[in-house]
Structure 1
Amino acid sequence: MFTKEELFEIKTLQKICENEGGFQLKLNFDMLENRIGKKKKDFFHYENGRLVGFLGCYGFGDKVELCGMVHPDYRRKRIFSKLLEMGLVESKKRYPLVLLNAPTDSQSASQFLRNFPCEYSFAEYQMKWQETELFIDPNVTFRPSYSTEDWEAEIQLEVLGFGLNENEAREFNQLIRENSSDQRLLIEFEGKIAGKMRVSESNGEAWIYGFTVFPKLQGKGIGRKALSRMVKMEHQKGLPIFLEVEAKNAHALRLYETCGFRSYHSQDYYKYLN
């Protein structure tokens, strides 16, 4: 687990890199703040006691995403190459699929990846809610997940909604349950479990994660009604609301847009060719 000082150093370096480059890095602080175990997942480079390079590895089922940064004044010294090499060595031990994550607008990342053994895979949009009138359906509600039956429903939704195998889904959800302060919520439609989502309220923002509905119930407007209700709840707290979606997921993208979300940044993902 990171110390407060280490997290502060990472955030400070992130701000410097983003301000210089005009982009946003995806460093998954909800995961960094809940690191456990002895597996090497994060890599640091210091110069004269100052953090100038960082790489984080974020596992999701059978894949891992790598994202890193180097202080603008310390580039072209192979710092990032060394961090990435260490990250790849550790990641390949545990994950069959390794993805390199880079902000679409980062020229330095694009230049680096042109000369690296990888291929473009997909893009992901960060979206922010713009105030929009929403219809709230009283038949779609939320409640916390607390029973064994609820847990099993969460697992099945991970498997059916995100393509994880059952063991991966259990491991990931156990990690979230034990180490995250996120709200784990079940979506109910007419009194029966229809889907789920997680909501993180941190640093004055609300982020929606893991949002899915059982495939057999899709196409009935449940997802849109659930998202509208959650957005309304978070907006009433005075929080800006964010989420992420893969560009290739056209159905989800349209759903979010109809509820008032608009893209403001994007991340590109490249498959490492090992």
Structure 2
Amino acid sequence: MLHPRTHLTADDLRAVADLEERVVAHDGGRLKIEWDSLRARSADPGGGPTTDLLWTAPDGRGVGYVGFDSWDGRTVELVGMVDPAERGRGTGTVLLDAAVQVCRDRGFAQALLIVPRPSEAGHRLARRLGAPLEHSEHALRLDAPPAAGDEDPRTTLRTATAEDLDVLADLLADAFGHPPTHLAASFAEGDTVAVEHEGAVVGTLRRPRDGASGGIYGFAVAPMFQGRGIGRDVLRRVSREFFADGATSVRLEVAVDNDRALGLYTSVGFRRVQTEDYYDLPL
């Protein structure tokens, strides 16, 4: 039975977590479920738009799930899963059709379905809807503190403030080809970092913490300062700080065609755990 949710109960969270565990045990890799967002939705009283779709079996077990995450109100990312024992019965088709309707009802301009590269069923569902491949990313993980390396005293890290907004926005636009849409809002979380070299802001990243896992996102160094070891130095520092604070892993994502960044991350010790394809669902 399909259950649209505007609020996740404690039982819902357990059902999604149990389902994720079964799916990953069967398929390997990982699923890009934003658990910090799910827990925030659990604290929300609900009553707003649909944020999750949960499919339960007659015995109450969660056997299908789709979650919706948007950081700018325009583009939404969808991550879904179906219990391996329930596949081939049309559950995924019903979930995805319902998810597309939710995206239309909520007025999103773009919906990106995240499909793990090995998931043939996920790719078939995307193709059935005529969804083109928008881009692909490698999911990387670091499971131990990085080896010690040179630390340049001229490079410092500090929490970004509103006064950094313009320079960081320019850095991110240069790095990713489009201006950031949620940078100002991210400052409120306190996890956006300004990287300074000899007193000038030359880079930025976000370092959110989700339980036992740290994350590094939106990592950019100004082009004229690349190739000087600043990026590697910053990666080592941030990763070591996570592990010193009790994290058991650090995760990040990189576009599959960004060989330079991939080489940097793997040189620090990150390894690929999954490749994910992002399909642009027709709305």
Q: TM-score of the superposition, structure 2-length normalised?
A: 0.80
CA RMSD of aligned residues (A): 2.8
Number of matched residues? 267
Q: Contact 2:111–2:281 (CA<8 Å) still a contact in 1?
A: yes
The aligned counterpart of 1:234 is: 242
For the structure 1 residues 22 and 224, does the alpha-carbon distance in structure 2 shift closer, same or farther, using more than 3 Å as the test? closer
1:47-196 equivalent positions in 2, closer than 5 A: 47-48=57-58, 49-61=60-72, 62-92=74-104, 93-129=106-142, 131-146=146-161, 148-165=162-179, 168-170=181-183, 173-174=184-185, 176-178=186-188, 180=189, 183-196=191-204
Q: Distance in 2 between matches of 1:215 and 1:43?
A: 42
What is the CA deviation profile of residues 237-272 of structure 1, one whole-angstrom value per residue up to 9, with x for unaligned ones? 453222111112222212212322221222122232
Q: Contact 2:160–2:187 (CA<8 Å) still a contact in 1?
A: no
Q: Contact 2:134–2:278 (CA<8 Å) still a contact in 1?
A: yes
The aligned counterpart of 2:33 is: 27
Q: Contact 1:13–1:71 (CA<8 Å) still a contact in 2?
A: yes
Q: Contact 2:170–2:179 (CA<8 Å) still a contact in 1?
A: no
Percent of residue pairs identical:
28
SS of the residue 1:109 aligns to: helix
Q: Distance in 2 between matches of 1:60 and 1:254?
A: 28
The aligned counterpart of 1:254 is: 263
Q: 1:60 deviation in Å?
A: 4.5
For the structure 1 residues 257 and 73, does the alpha-carbon distance in structure 2 shift closer, same or farther, using more than 3 Å as the test? closer
Q: Distance in 2 between matches of 1:149 and 1:18?
A: 42
Q: Contact 2:138–2:255 (CA<8 Å) still a contact in 1?
A: yes
What is the aligned counterpart of 1:45 among 29, 34, 55?
A: 55
Q: 1:11 deviation in Å?
A: 1.0
Q: 1:164 deviation in Å?
A: 4.5
Q: 1:15 deviation in Å?
A: 0.7
Q: Distance in 1 between matches of 2:273 and 2:57?
A: 34
For the structure 1 residues 149 and 194, does the alpha-carbon distance in structure 2 shift closer, same or farther, using more than 3 Å as the test? same
- Unaligned stretches of 5+ in structure 1? none
Q: Contact 1:58–1:65 (CA<8 Å) still a contact in 2?
A: yes
Q: TM-score of the superposition, structure 1-length normalised?
A: 0.83
Q: 1:114 deviation in Å?
A: 4.5
Q: Contact 2:157–2:195 (CA<8 Å) still a contact in 1?
A: yes
Q: 1:101 deviation in Å?
A: 0.9
The aligned counterpart of 1:263 is: 272
Q: Contact 1:23–1:106 (CA<8 Å) still a contact in 2?
A: no
Q: 1:70 deviation in Å?
A: 1.7
Q: Distance in 2 between matches of 1:95 and 1:160?
A: 26
Q: Distance in 2 between matches of 1:2 and 1:162?
A: 33
27-36 or 4-13, which moves further after superposition? Answer: 27-36
Q: 1:54 deviation in Å?
A: 1.0
